[in-house]
Amino acid sequence: MAASIVQSASNIKSEGAYPSSEAWVALNTSVDGRLQPGIPFARPCFPLASNETKGHFSPSDCNIVEADYLNHLSISNTVGGYINTQWETCQRTGQECLLDWTLPSNAAATMPPRICSQGSVPTFAIDVRNATDVLRGLEFSKEYNISLAIKNTGHDYKGRSGGPGALALWLHNLKSIEFAPNFIPQNCPSAMRTEYAVTVGAGVQFSDLIPFATEHNITIPSGGDLSVGAAGGYPQGGGHGILSNVYGLAADRVLEYEVITPRGEHIIANDCQYSDLFYALRGGGGGTFGVVLKMTTKALPGMPVNAVFSTFNSTVPGNRLEFIRFMVENSLTWAQQGWGTYIIPSEGILLANTVLQPAAANESMKELREFMTGNLTGTFLMTVEPNYETFFNNYIGALIHVPVGVPLTPASRLIPVQSFSENREQLISTLNDIQNVDILIAFGTTPFLFGSNNRTSVTPAWRDSLWHVVFGDIWNYDTSTTDISQKYSNLSAVANGLRDFTPDSGAYQNEADVYEPNHEESFWGNNYPLLLSIKQKYDPDHILDCWQCVGWRGPSSPQYSCYIEGF
């Protein structure tokens, strides 16, 4: 392994005091040989590669990559794989190493004169297995002034878990899961006992955790993709899902973190000790305040799920507008009844409810059933699933397809509750006007019924909103840098319509416009000054800096050299 590290390091073009081959070898030794070169996921398919790009051309390995190119779990299992592949590229220069996601075997994407470039894939990554590995990475970053990225699954719409020339802390293999009945956070009084809790390593994904929960007759709510990490940027940035209306955001349910701070402290943070850091880690964003090794989350009892999936033909003139109107007119009532929703204006609606008995749930859906099957001549399916895992597999997993292995960028806005009554007609027309994008989903996944315990640092706009509206655009390997830049501009223009409509609201940082204006106010509202002071306390040297994160000092740093200029 040492020889491969030397060879990889010797191919890197650098300026100034970039670490020498000997320094990388020493780092590899200090982490027991777990330093890996960051190899772009599609590298085996390219006969030609730039000098700094690691890995080799291999037709047999390429066959595997082509077969798995759109598989979220396969992507997340590699250091150099990113769920949204523009973050493997250098978008500013067009340097990339991508396949044609519409036909991964298309040789036009990989054959000469096309070249595989390192792009934004980190130069090296430490395959973290313990706290010492993290400490060695932090020390190395500080000594050589090299940017440090925290990566788990590669789910990141804003490019915060990579960067050109970076060293990554790859947490993906921290896979421990422990069920903890009667959990009490460290140094907390027994009165803070939680009936059910689960402690997970930083690398645990919902594909691991949801089956574990079923085995123990408990429920752990998730987002919409099983390959998302349960302890990483999802809860640290907020974390919404179809059960959030009743049970809160993922950040609301966190009970404790085991974390290494940039100052090198190995601590347990909860409401009773290091409570300021605990507050920041529940909504302040991933990759910013420390390196989380473990998280303990509140678990819910096992429970059946009332599920509804209803579709319609949006190409029939007038159907889309009529559908949006009905959604706006009824969403408040559904939220009050405990329903969570995924609303797709081009397709239909998915709903879930764990608080109503089946008969009451069926009655509450009577008007929706009549509207969808009558007015829109669509389909309507309603079942009672025995547990959350079965619900997820039969509905979200089978029917809601989150694009992976593609360049996809979103923008979003939280829609306040009052907009559904005071400004209803404007909301309907604003949403109906959003048509020149590839994706549009209104998530009824805000913590409306859950409310607020005032102990998390997410934007207060989450607590005052009914919908989280997300829209996005997709492109391909051969899209020009000019056209990519235009897509970002178009998304920002669409977002401006919702920003103008909801000037006092905000956006969910994990699914926001990459170039979100006034991002401090948008992502954290009046929580930002306190978050900034916590950042300065635990990371005074800015070892953990990332794009539009707390304490961000602007786009001029070399670590942001692959973001598109001009925004």
Angle in degrees, CA 269, 259, 137, rounded to 5: 160
Helix, strand, coil: what percent of the chain each, to 5? 35, 20, 45
Q: Are 119 and 96 in contact (CB under 8 A)?
A: yes
CA 293, CA 229: separation in Å to the nearest integer? 12
Tens of pLDDT, residue by residue, the chain (567 residues): 555 665 565 555 444 478 999 999 999 999 999 999 999 999 999 999 999 999 999 999 999 999 999 999 999 999 999 999 999 999 999 999 999 999 999 999 999 999 999 999 999 999 999 999 999 999 999 999 999 999 999 999 999 999 999 999 999 999 999 999 999 999 999 988 888 999 999 999 999 999 999 999 999 999 999 999 999 999 999 999 999 999 999 999 999 999 999 999 999 999 999 999 999 999 999 999 999 999 999 999 999 999 999 999 999 999 999 999 999 999 999 999 999 999 999 999 999 999 999 999 999 999 999 999 999 999 999 999 999 999 999 999 999 988 899 999 999 999 999 999 999 999 999 999 998 899 999 999 999 999 887 799 999 999 999 999 999 999 999 999 999 999 999 999 999 999 999 999 999 999 999 999 999 999 999 999 999 999 999 999 999 999 999 999 999 999 999 999 877
Give residue 454's pLDDT: 76
Under DSSP, the state recorded for 20 is P
pTM of the complete model beyond 0.85: yes
Structure tokens, 365: 């859906």
Which residues, in sequence order, are bridge partners of residue 194? Answer: 183
**How many residues make up the chain in this entry?**
567
3-class state of residue 444 by DSSP: strand
Cα-flanking dihedrals φ and ψ of residue 488, to 5°? -60, -40
Burial 407-441 (b: 16+ CB within 10 A, else e): bbbbbbbbbbbebbeeeeeebbebbbebeebebbb
3 state SS of 26: helix
Question: How far apart (Å, rounded) are the C-alpha atoms in residues 244 and 451?
Answer: 10
Torsion of CA 207, 208, 213, 219, to 10 degrees: -40
SS3 278: helix
* Residue that the structure tokens 């934004």 belong to: 120
Judged on CB neighbours under 10 Å (0-12, 13-18, 19+), 502 is: buried
Helical spans, DSSP H, in 337-448: 358-364, 366-370, 388-391, 397-399, 424-432
| DSSP-derived pairing of the beta strands 124-127 and 167-170 | parallel
And the tokens for 179?
């069920």
For each of the domains in the chain, give its residue range(s) and CATH number, in order of start: 2-170 (no CATH), 177-302 (3.30.465.10), 305-525 (3.40.462.20)
Q: Write a three-state SS string for 292-355.
A: EEEEEEECEECCCEEEEEEECCCCCCCHHHHHHHHHHHHHHHHHHCCCEEEEECCCEEEEEECC
User: If we measure between CA atoms, which residue out of 382, 373, 269, 262 comes closest to residue 323?
Assistant: 373
Instruction: Give the C-alpha distances (Å, rounded to integers) separating 312 from 74, 318, 322, 342.
Output: 33, 12, 11, 14
* Among 235, 75, 96, 233, residue whose Cα is nearest residue 157: 233
Strand 291-298 with 197-201, pairing: antiparallel
Q: What are phi and psi of 545, to 5 degrees?
A: -115, 145
Buried residues in 278-311 as b, exposed as e (16+ CB within 10 A): bbbbbbbbbbbbbbbbbbbbbbbebbbbbbbbbb
From first CA to last CA, the distance across the chain in angstroms is 42
What is residue 15's predicted lDDT score, i.e. its pLDDT? 43
Beta-bridge partners for 124: 37, 167
pLDDT value at residue 1: 54
Report whether 79 contacts 36 (CB < 8 A). yes
Using left for φ > 0, alpha for ψ between -120 and 50, and beta otherwise, residue 119 falls in left
Q: Running DSSP on this structure, what letter comes out for residue 183?
A: B
